[in-house]
A and B are shown apart, each in its own frame.
Chain A
Amino acid sequence: MSAVLQNLVNQPYKHGFVTDIESDVAAKGLSEDTIRMISSKKNEPEWLLAFRLKSYQRWLKMEEPTWSNVHYPKIDLQAISYYAAPKQKPKLKSMDEVDPELLRTFEKLGVPLHERMALAGVAVDVIFDSVSVATTYKDKLAKIGIIFCSMSEAVNEHPELVQKYLGTVVPTGDNFFAALNSAVFTDGSFCFIPKGVKCPMDLSTYFRINTEETGQFERTLIVAEEGASVSYLEGCTAPEFSSNQLHAAVVELVALDNADIKYSTVQNWYAGDENGVGGVYNFVTKRGMAKGVNSRISWTQVETGSAITWKYPSVILRGDNSVGEFYSVAVTNHHQQADTGTKMIHIGKNTRSTIVSKGISAGNSNNSYRGLVRINPKAAEARNYSQCDSMLIGDQSSASTFPYIQVRNNSAKVEHEASTSKIGEDQLFYFAQRGIDAEAAVSMIINGFCKDVFQQLPMEFAVEATQLLGLKLEGSVG
């Protein structure tokens, strides 16, 4: 790889600072006692403790999956702490009571917590290590019946809703990491959009891991009742540590009849250094249930961070005429590994799904798309279109595509397209001969490659995503 390309892909991570704040960190290790401790710290009802303990029992019997195309030393799950929270007053009456050090942290990250300073039109729930520290616009949203708060708060204030939907999309024993999450999850966001309400602003959660050797196990649940719609954004960063942090989240979406949920992620966890030391292990289970007729669930993700990403945001198309979408850009550099994709499970009649996946690998990284399209016997007239494109930068990176297609109904139409391209010296020389330097050239090529996905992102996020790719690959000052 030429020096030019080398420089372009070696940009530093700008969110790598650590906030010096007094934290309440639980002793390392996992046992029933740990789970009871978490549950009692959060003043949880009995049913939730039972949910956790049942999950733990299932998890004990499960094996860590090895089928994905990623390689890492075995994680010692007894060597991490399952709870870390900044010490502060137990109940905050207003944003002004939030620790100023925390406010500064999030301002530095570009997520202002004061509503007067906040991004116009976006409500934010902020998760710092294991707890939610602030939620903006909560009261305004409540006036039209929308519940947007931290999961811990929802458990106490709306237990009937949480109990009704928690674990209905991702069952406690779904997979190794989902079971672990169900046992030890600490916080996350809860959104409930009642019947007929179109959420007037984007809802957003910002996740920050700050403490070394902790795991972040957040749990997010979004429910859109009949005819409701919501656009939800998620952002994540973590400091630079030489050790690895585990992030094993579970996100569940439920869309009832005619409901519409759009979930967008810009994931920028610390990816480790150029030698592959440190970084976040991002083992996440995200799944949506398009439960009602004509419902729609759309995932858009821009994955740039993490040492390892293992993530398949999926849609179960249960309602007739329901729609599932997955738009993804996954960028890997240095020694990053990503095995990401989606599952579209067609159950209802006339269900439709679209998959657009763009993988970009630079450095020595390895980027895999893995996707399942399953058409069940009763899913008459189901349709799927998949497009999986890979781009290689330099000659040390690799890209793989693993599409699984299972069709059990003859009336289904399934299309799959795939391509691989490379940003080569020849392309950069061509741009240079037209007066365009390598930085601008790479930016133009990458943006062109990703435009089908970027145009799905809400405006603020599209800008952020473009900048993020800029930081990651172009060397521009973000």
Chain B
Amino acid sequence: MDFAWSDEDEVFRRELRAFLSETLPPSWDEIARDGPGSDAQAAFAREFCPRLAAKGWLTQSWPREYGGRDATPWRHAILGEEMWRCGEPRSSQYMNVNWIGPTILRYGSEEQKARYLPPISEGRAFWCQGFSEPEAGSDLASLRTLAIRDGDAYVVNGSKIWTSYVNHADHCFLVVRTEPDSKRHHGISVLLVAMDLPGIEVREIPSVVGERYFFEVFFTDVRVPVECRLGPEHAGWDVVSWSLATERVGAARYARAADTLDELAAWARERGLLSDARLRERLGEARALCEAARLLVYRVIDLRAKGSPPSADTNLARVASTAAERAVADLALETFGPEALEYGHFAEAHFRLAMTAGVAVGTTEIHLNLVAARFLGLPRE
């Protein structure tokens, strides 16, 4: 075991921080206030991501032939930590580089790699994720959106919900049922759908989490060319599972939580509040949760770096990250008191982010189910 960063990784983090401090404008906090999905942040990412790509940093852990630098997954993890720390200047492009691109790398044909990967590695692509449906949330395998083969196209009918980042997405990573009478995990396929196809309609779902945060996407007789199918027909559940395992620890939420906690402690110290033993105790408790989450995520990256298949370690890490984020959010609100209610206050911004943690990319209950089954080996019935 070795818990030290390599010298090269340390150098990279320093260079990245220097790059961020000279690249993020003075108005960055204002831009980042409404979250990664806001129009302002997406507009910023259109300039920012190509610059990261030009530095060779956006997809450095990908193979060289597909726009990467053959770097270890650790390098990409450092990028993720530093990006989330400052509020994710990549906007929704973090999804492209964390799991959409890697899933295409793993399951895509050479034609698909040539078509979809360069825009991602160059920082030009915006994707959204079409998984959840009104009747298929935690029970994703009950999804009903149908894609019926008709000559050289699939005709897609159905709807997706809680989809973030649709407002500027040019593609959707869409999970559909290609066999009408199939059940559960069978008969499912993945389609890479251009969002400008006729028959796609988008409706915003107003939410308390943030503006332009959730959307509903309706598909009416949308003709998606067959060559846009990723992976095998009717047997796409493997693709979905692999992508979920990659997604679940993609966002470095623990790093953001730890930074918020540092800010909170600094604020408390300035006001002499750290003399309160009870506050110190709660700060220490929340700090331990952040650190546990960090190491559990690192454990997943370590397994990934060694080429191990996805495991329940991912679910352990996600549950721990959620716990850390919530503990920090609660403590921040209680410490600041009513001041934290004002929109844009950093405690409030963290609180809104933390609200979604136990629900997004699989509810905590689903993660606990998977830990019980795959990590502890508990029986189904």
Does A pair with B? no
User: Which residues in A have some Cβ–Cβ distance to B below 8 Å?
Assistant: none
User: Which residues in B have some Cβ–Cβ distance to A below 8 Å?
Assistant: none
